[in-house]
Amino acid sequence: MRLLIVEDEKHLAEAVKELLKKENYVVDVFYDGQEGLDNALTDIYDLILLDIMLPSVDGLEILKIIRKEGIKTPVLLLTARNQINDRVKGLDLGADDYLSKPFAQEELNARIRAILRRKGDITTTSEMVFHDITLDYNSLTLSCRNKNISLTLKESELLQFLITRKNMITPKELLIEKLWGFNSDAEDNNVEVYISFLRKKFKYLNCETSIKTTRGLGYSLEVIHV
């Protein structure tokens, strides 16, 4: 899952980024409100951690704009303890929760899990299932037919996204934005390489699940007989 942090306290932002990376989130950080807004408007994120006091454009204005644009990405506001009125205004503008600074790592993780559960992106376990495969995205393990194999973080992210969109075809462009970021230099070949890696691991596990290519459209999971 991809998270966006918009926080002008650079030491705090980088510390939170490292903590969340250990939880296997992909994290982008911006210290300026305008940059944060530009990236939030791409609508590629699963959750936004948004400071209220920011240069260029403040967090409440960012929240107001993205909600006006129809972007429903969950937002966790990061606030100072004395910003009671701002917290209330933020919730009224469409924030999903707030966290007062300074905060404990455990509470941050718990708030993020709670928001994503409400959104429906995660369950109470770390496992995702499609037909005969089980992905454990905490341990980066793919299991099938009583066998398992380790995945890289990028392979796990790709498979998570395909499972989440199991009834839809996912375009390469969307995979690039979701896995590498809107301003990334990644190209179609990057996606093709990781699709190939996953297909080889499905074959090694003798899975009935495979990844189908729909030419000109993208990828989807399918069930085959082996």
| pLDDT, position 226 | 56
* All domains of the chain in start order, with CATH: 2-119 (3.40.50.2300), 127-223 (1.10.10.10)
Q: Around 55, how many Cα atoms within 13 Å sit in the side-chain half-sphere?
A: 7
pLDDT, position 42: 86
The confidence score (pLDDT) of residue 35 equals: 93
Fill in the DSSP letter of residue 126: S
Query: Could you state, in chain order, the average pLDDT of each consecutive group of 10 residues for the chain (226 residues)?
Result: 93 93 88 94 91 94 94 92 82 92 90 85 69 90 93 92 89 88 82 96 94 93 82
pTM exceeds cut of 0.85: no
Residue 116's pLDDT is what? Answer: 87
Beta strand pairing status for 75-80 and 97-101? Answer: parallel
**Rounded Cα gap, residues 65 and 26, in angstroms:** 24
Q: What is the pLDDT of residue 203?
A: 93
Angle between the N-to-C axes of helices 172-179 and 188-204, in degrees from 0 to 180, rounded to the nearest 10: 90
Among 50, 11, 20, 41, which Cα is nearest to 183's? 41
What was the pLDDT predicted at 122?
52
Query: What pLDDT score was predicted for residue 125?
Result: 58
